Amino acid sequence: MGTINDTENLGKSIAEIFDRQYKYVISLYQRNFSWRRPQIEQLLQDIYSAFKNGQNHYYIGSLVVLKRSNGDFEVIDGQQRLTVLSLITKIMKINDEPRLFYDSRPEFEEFLADFYKSKDGNSDIDYPQTAHLRNAIGYIKEIDLDAELTATKIGDAGTDFVNYFKNNVILVRVEIPQDTDVASYFEIMNNRGAQLQKHEILKSFLLSKLNGKSYDEFAKIWTACSQMETPIQKLFTADVRRRYFGDNYDNFLFESLAETYTENRNGQIKKLDDILNESFVGGNAEDSKDDSEANDDETKYKSIIDFPNFLMHVFKVMFPNKVKFSDGEEKEIPLNEKYLISTYKAVENQLNSEDFIKTLFFCRTIFDKYVVKTVIDDKAEEGERWTLKKPQKNNNNALDYIDTFDNDEQNRIVKALTMLQVSFRSRIYKKWLYDVLKWFNKQQKIEVGYIEHLNLLDTIILNHYDERIIEYNPIGENIHLSKENSYSEGLNTPHFLFNFIDYLYWVDSKNDVPVFNTKLESFEFKYWNSIEHHIAREWACRNSEKVPGYENYIDNLGNLCLINKSTNSRLSDRDTKEKAETFDKGNLGSNRQIMYALTKNAGGNYREEQVKQHYNELLKLLSCRDVILRNTFPPPPLIHNS
């Protein structure tokens, strides 16, 4: 038996971990499974990135186990990761029987047994206790493995990736001695202190290179910028706020760090270690008497990106061209926080710490003012709504927040931003955000008008469409639809394309000179993640006489729309008439609204004729994309990657 001190043969491939001879047990004292989409998405995308880049092995972390007297492994540490891997191995057909079990939790046992018996990797067991497991299965299936592209799902990743996952993904399994006091072991683990995160290490590197500039001011700005879910102006006292953002709190006046080191309260010069351990930002809030902010709920938002990944954007803004990494390869800076320290090492000799903190501070100020966030709203769908606010000083000299743009302008900007965000929701490789920050940094303007900002966003959107989407010619009146003569990708259709279609229809309906005379109900982009076949495949299979030749057009773009998973489950295999009449209320995207209208106009019979009609209209819509988006003003110059 291996021990805690035995360092040989600890690395196990996924195939070895889930070999039939092993059984893993989650004890009753362990908490329930709790991973959500972000953790699962990060795991899968990191593994896929390693596979795509030809990395020989991908080490996924450790699994600490205690071997029971009957030979079963009791999981001590790493059960969240192990649970996800167990689900993935079933979905990828690497493992066809459960290797993970739970003490005294029959609901979990029943769920996993049913999940492993199913052919499609689903379970009909629906206990409240197993909801997170059910959700995790859905996330695994729907997540885009390639964070830089769309529609690369785990179900169609190919045998090469399955073999890589099976044989090259390594988990370090450590057995602790059988006489270990597990309770004491947990106490030791919980008291050992959190290791420094990458961004904290980066902060120390940058501080060490300041060369006489103020450690204290650098640290305060850094700490403020790191709090991504609070507006930057709120994180400084009124006096400091005026110095950085002007009398109205809406400018950006920071130029350079102070020349002198800040003294502590005893009159002594602060040491670097003291600065690194400080957690305060702008001083005591009691120092400011004009700080009673209005509409405070609007400033309790959730950011679309975390701080470590935001730092990667700052690096790439400062170094947009290829840089030489430690492996000798020249490549562009990847927008993934796992490369944070290696990126710093690659640019260390060219990097000025003061320039970095100024660029970080500027980008964070721009991010707050010109990029959407979400705020909690119990009345909104999914309990959240989008917000886009800018700071101002109100009549009481207090910090206030108002819409960044006026009414209709605000709506159009929010639509463009949210279309991009729901299409590329991952916190890594968020290239559209980088394009926004890069443009603002090049302009060095804090105040940008509606048309200028919209031109930037629409250009980013159009560039992405041009890079990714294949175009087809319309289908003639007497020609039948087929997979060969039309865009028929079915479930592999990029989600971006659906969102772009919704955006184009909505923009066109608001234009003074629309291409289509389409009346639409208002809607908000949400994280819709399920592709709906309006003519359902199961229904068509049972009623093939009503939809002859349906296999030729069931996956056609004219038969598809994007909805949320729960709605897709409710719609299931219902007839198109029932869908259009029963589910035509609520927050429906433009495309879905139009498909339902076509269905009603055809007496509920959405068939090949209606699919072709809608498909041809979609092709016209897409071909007119420049006309629709530039309805009232000329296009800007293209944004290049460099």
**Which pLDDT tens digit goes with each residue over 403-436?**
999 988 999 999 999 999 999 999 999 999 999 9
324 burial via Cβ count (<10 Å: 0-12, 13-18, 19+): exposed
Q: What is the pLDDT of residue 295?
A: 55
When mean pLDDT is compared over 96-100, 151-155, 186-190, 247-251, the highest value belongs to 247-251
Q: Are 28 and 103 in contact (CB under 8 A)?
A: yes
Q: Are 261 and 215 in contact (CB under 8 A)?
A: yes
Cα–chain center distance at 369: 20
Contacts with 256 (C-beta within 8 Å, 6 or more apart), sequence order: 213, 354, 358
* Average of per-residue pLDDT values in the chain: 86
Please report which confidence band the pLDDT of residue 5 belongs to, taking 50, 70 and 90 as the band edges.
very low
Helix pair angle (590-601, 608-623), 10° resolution = 140
The three-state DSSP-derived secondary structure of 124-163 is CCCCHHHHHHHHHHHHHHHCCCCCCCCCCCHHHCCHHHHH
Question: Region 244-253: what's the mean pLDDT?
Answer: 95
DSSP 382: G
Q: What is the pLDDT of residue 1?
A: 37
Q: What is the DSSP string of 228-290?
A: TTS-GGGGS-HHHHHHHH-TTS-S-------SSPPB-TTSPBPPHHHHHH----SS-GGG-SS
Cβ–Cβ contacts within 10 Å for residue 131, how many? Answer: 13
Q: Are 632 and 620 in contact (CB under 8 A)?
A: no
Q: What is the pLDDT of residue 129?
A: 85
Rounded-to-integer distance, Cα 59 and Cα 168, Å: 8
Question: Region 471-497: what's the mean pLDDT?
Answer: 93
Q: What is the pLDDT of residue 605?
A: 92
- Tell me which residue of 37, 129, 25, 41 sits closest to 83, measured CA to CA: 25
Half-sphere exposure of 192 (CA within 13 A, CB side): 9
- Taking the alpha carbons at both ends of the chain, their separation in whole angstroms is 55
Q: What is the pLDDT of residue 186?
A: 60
Q: Are 424 and 430 in contact (CB under 8 A)?
A: yes
Question: Region 266-281: what's the mean pLDDT?
Answer: 48
- The token duo for 190 is 């919980």
Q: Are 204 and 271 in contact (CB under 8 A)?
A: no
Q: What is the pLDDT of residue 576?
A: 94
Rounded-to-integer distance, Cα 87 and Cα 33, Å: 12
Kind and range of the H or E run holding 178: none
Furthest CA-CA distance within the chain: 89
**Which pLDDT tens digit goes with each residue over 524-565?**
999 998 899 999 999 999 999 999 999 999 999 999 999 987
The domain segmentation of the chain, as residue ranges, is 11-191, 204-441, 490-629
Q: Has residue 133 got a pLDDT over 80?
A: yes
Give the torsion sign (CA, 242, 244, 250, 252).
positive
* Amino acid of residue 143: I
Q: What is the pLDDT of residue 564?
A: 85
Question: Region 499-508: what's the mean pLDDT?
Answer: 97
Q: What is the pLDDT of residue 286?
A: 35
Higher pLDDT, 180 or 61: 61
Question: Region 257-280: what's the mean pLDDT?
Answer: 52
For the question of whether the overall pTM of this predicted structure is more than 0.85, the answer is no
Share of the chain above pLDDT 70, in %: 87
Q: Has residue 288 got a pLDDT over 60?
A: no
Q: Has residue 636 got a pLDDT over 50?
A: no
Rounded-to-integer distance, Cα 168 and Cα 48, Å: 11
Kind and range of the H or E run holding 530: strand 530-533
- Tell me which residue of 632, 411, 616, 626 sits closest to 513, measured CA to CA: 632
**Which pLDDT tens digit goes with each residue over 91-108?**
999 988 889 998 878 888
Cβ–Cβ contacts within 10 Å for residue 539, how many? Answer: 20
Q: Has residue 44 got a pLDDT over 50?
A: yes
Contacts with 283 (C-beta within 8 Å, 6 or more apart), sequence order: 237, 240
Rounded-to-integer distance, Cα 157 and Cα 164, Å: 11
Q: What is the pLDDT of residue 598?
A: 96
* Amino acid of residue 294: A
When mean pLDDT is compared over 200-204, 233-237, 272-276, 277-281, the highest value belongs to 233-237
Q: Are 364 and 436 in contact (CB under 8 A)?
A: no
Please report which confidence band the pLDDT of residue 594 belongs to, taking 50, 70 and 90 as the band edges.
very high
590 burial via Cβ count (<10 Å: 0-12, 13-18, 19+): buried
**Which pLDDT tens digit goes with each residue over 302-334?**
999 999 999 999 999 999 999 999 888 899 999
Higher pLDDT, 288 or 353: 353
Please report which confidence band the pLDDT of residue 363 belongs to, taking 50, 70 and 90 as the band edges.
very high
Q: What is the pLDDT of residue 201?
A: 86
Strand, coil or helix: what is 403? strand
